[in-house]
Amino acid sequence: MDNNEIKNSNEVKKVVIAGGGTAGWITAVALAKKLGHILDITLIESNAIGTIGVGEATIPTSRTFHQLIGIDEQELMRATNATFKLGIHFENWLQEGVNYIHSFGATGKESWIAEFQHFWLRAKEQGMGGNFGEYCLEHQASSQKKFACAPGMDINYAYHLDALLYAKFLKNIAIEHGVKYFEGKICTVNKNHNNGYIDSLVLESGQTIQGDLFIDCTGFEALLIEKTLQTGFEDWSHLLPCDAAVAVQTETTSTDILPLTRSIAMGSGWRWCIPLQNRMGNGYVYSRRHISDDQAIADLLKAVDGKPLNEPRVIKHRPGVRRKVWNKNCVAIGLSGGFLEPLESTGIHLFMMGVVRLIQFFPFSGINQSLQDQYNGLAVAELTGIRDFIMLHYHLTKRDDTQFWRDCRIKELPNTLAHRINLFKNNAHAYQAAGELFRVDSWVQVMLGQGIVPEHYHHSVKLMSDANLAGFLESIKAPIQEKVKSMPTHADFIQHYCRS
């Protein structure tokens, strides 16, 4: 057996997490809650190393994760100044003045033969049907700044939250559940001379921490997975145009709280606007090939509402993924494993999936190649699917007012994405492949929002008479209207449910 394929036959009992922040503490809590009774878990975090802390928007999978590890939603939201999120409001992406919502909900009803968009397209052809979003509860509630949730209520939502407070919240839970915590900077990574595995980490204090499995949560530094193991990186800069972001927090200027993340197209990228209970989170994701850092800062400060609460911070990044997210006895979770810009708020989701996958494929009986291959294949496939979904927004723009947007339109597409676009454009078909994050509803909403008008639809919907089709659509739309009408405003619901 090749030494690079298996470390030894001994059980893996001691896990060392290098780095804290959101990724580190998500990993620590999940391992402690689910495997803490059979694992020795240690986390090392340096107060001297800053946390990125700008990823303040999540997607609905975060709720599932929190339920899995037993986190109380109201307690979490109060501790993190959180608000609710029903989707993303895209502004000026197709062209100036054209907006649409990518909501988290299901739209309409489908048959086993044809999805709802086919019924809607037939109705549009017959001069009825209205807007696609009228058939989605989350879309209608968010557009009217309404929100409500209760046990048994069928509404799909996520959170806006303060990432630094979120990490602190998770840290307290992890330590309560037995995670050993060391504060200090890692100065040396010791490797086994025979097989190249990591044996231990040495802190500046001189303390040595040994482990069987090491989790790299050191962010873009990638101290273990790259600087130590030299795993390699697949660069996606030729596919995704942005390579930097500047972030700033501002005072809240309105008592209304939008239950949406705003994504507003700018001259050389886009800016986010994320409402928390106590402030606004803002940022400009941009291409340094098209605009300087100083100009990006100036453009962001000019665009935001409210007084800045901190100095703008520039974060440079490179889109892509490690060639192996799990290499030898090191698993990269978080920014150390790969990065995609936060256009669809997938960052925290990827942290969570990284540790869920690790729990599912944990190497209790020893680290072997089959586990690594399965873990790596699933991780890269998910990241690739998200990459394609993000590319969709850029490629389908009709903007030509700046060189940035002109360049986005002519980028060569991966075959996987080109096929999806053609399938929808020609036939109105969309799909969610096995293991993919984004559902059919998401693909349809964004492709329609970005200007695709399908040329054809499934003719099975023609079997329904115009009168029956109108009645079918009304049977979906009317209950949504009534439910939204009865909802409180988002701000009022927060005051009652989870006020910080």
Active centre residues (catalytic): 85
For residue 40, give both structure tokens.
């020795």
CA atoms within 13 A on the CB side of 293: 11
Q: Of all helices (H) and strands (E), which one includes residue 203?
A: strand 198-203
**Would you give the DSSP letter of residue 411?**
P
Q: What angle do CA 301, 305, 310 make, to 5 degrees?
A: 55
Q: What angle do CA 316, 318, 322 make, to 5 degrees?
A: 135
Give the span between the Cα atoms of 89 and 101, in whole angstroms: 5
Single-letter amino acid code for the residue at 68:
L
- Strand 14-18 and strand 40-45: pairing? parallel
DSSP characters for 98-166? Answer: -EEEEESS--S---SSS-HHHHHHHHHHTT----GGGG-HHHHHHHTTB----TT-----EEE--HHHH
Single-letter amino acid code for the residue at 441:
D
Contact present, 43 and 21 (Cβ < 8 Å): no
Give the span between the Cα atoms of 50 and 434, in whole angstroms: 37
**Residue 209, by phi and psi: left (phi above 0), alpha (psi -120 to 50) or beta?**
beta
